[in-house]
Amino acid sequence: QVQLVQSGAEVKKPGASVKVSCKTSGYTFTHYAIHWVRQAPGQRLEWMGWINAGNDDTKYSQKFQGRVTMTRDTPATTVYMELNSLRSEDTAVYYCARITDNWSGTDVWGQGTTVTVSS
Amino acid sequence: EIVLTQSPATLSLSPGERATLSCRASQSVSSYLAWYQQKPGQAPRLLIYDTSNRATGIPARFSGSGSGTDFTLTISSLEPEDFAVYYCQQRSNWPPMYSFGQGTKLEIK
């Protein structure tokens, strides 16, 4: 079955970087794009951007432009999200999610990765 | 950036009742509006895409409607498992950019 499995929890200091992985399986990796969405404690879902695993195109939310990089490793069927210059407000659960083939929603989600930023 | 505003923030109903959740966009999103359900400690689950299409495996009691800037998620008869937080999400035209509403918490009365 289709699965997205994310890397484990991270604890980082302010100013550091974090790189979260999302290992996909059960479908043709290059046929879909992947969102990254985060959720701070008790807060709304926040869209960060997407990467098209087929052609490596990316699109980032203006809020994260310049601070986030999304990449892919096609042989490993894995996508990555790296966030730089971390601050306490970046403490959140980070999700990867597969975008449907008509780009209208996200049908499969990873389990989430908790990133804690604390001095 | 398109801002989505959901109302009410909290909706208190009993099982068997009808729930109506609203999502208003700051500008037209055409029909590119989706709804998600999220339970505590879980990832969101896609319910509705393109305003009114149920995702795979979603029961018929969930329905979506609307156009332009005003959208509605209706749950015709609440089941105990429906009490959760609901988010709307819009998608802009190409290249697609997305945003979420702030959520409506559906709680048991």
**A103 close to B (CB below 8 A):** yes
Q: What is the DSSP letter of B96?
A: P
Helix (H) / strand (E) containing A48: strand A45-52
A118 with A49: CB under 8 angstroms?
Answer: no
- CA of B14 vs chain A CAs: smallest distance (Å): 24
pLDDT for residue B33: 94
A105 with B34: CB under 8 angstroms?
A: yes
* Cα–Cα distance for residue pair B64/A66, rounded to 1 Å: 36
Residues with Cβ within 8 Å of B43's Cβ and at least 6 positions away in sequence, in order, are: A95, A97, A109, A110, A111, A112
Q: Supply the pLDDT for residue A12.
A: 98
State the pLDDT at residue B48: 96
Q: Which residues of B touch A104 (CB under 8 A)?
A: 32, 34, 49-50, 53, 91
Give the residue-averaged pLDDT of A40-64.
95
Q: Provide the strand spans (E) within B1-109.
A: 4-7, 10-13, 19-25, 33-38, 45-49, 53-54, 62-67, 70-75, 85-91, 98-100, 104-108
- Over residues A80-96, mean pLDDT: 98
For residues A81 and A48, the answer to whether their CB atoms sit within 8 Å is yes
Residue A65 has a pLDDT of 93
The C-alpha atoms of residue A45 and residue A74 are separated, in whole angstroms, by: 27
Q: B100 near A45, Cβ under 8 Å? A: yes
Rounded CA separation B18/A39 (Å): 29
Contact A109 B44 (CB under 8 A): yes
> What confidence category does residue B56 fall into, taking pLDDT thresholds of 50, 70 and 90?
very high
Q: Do A45 and B38 touch (CB under 8 A)?
A: yes
On average, the pLDDT of chain A sits at 96
| Residue B8 preceded by cis peptide, ω within 30 | yes
Measured between beta carbons, which residues in chain A are less than 8 angstroms from residue B95?
57, 59
Per the listing, tokens 């009410």 go with B8
How does strand A18-25 pair with strand A78-83?
antiparallel
Give the Cα separation of B83 and B13 in Å (integer): 9
Q: Using CB atoms and an 8 Å cut-off, which of residues 31-50 of chain B contact chain A? A: 32, 34, 36, 38, 43-46, 49-50
Q: Are B65 and B74 in contact (CB under 8 A)?
A: yes
Residue B7, chain A, CB below 8 Å: the answer is: no
> Would you call B97 and A103 a contact, using CB atoms and an 8 Å cutoff?
no
Query: Of A111, A109, A101, nearest to B96 (Cα)?
Result: A101
Which pLDDT score, from 0 to 100, does residue B31 have? Answer: 85
Pick the range with the lowest mean pLDDT from A62-76, A97-111, B54-68: A97-111
* Interchain contact A61–B (C-beta under 8 A): yes
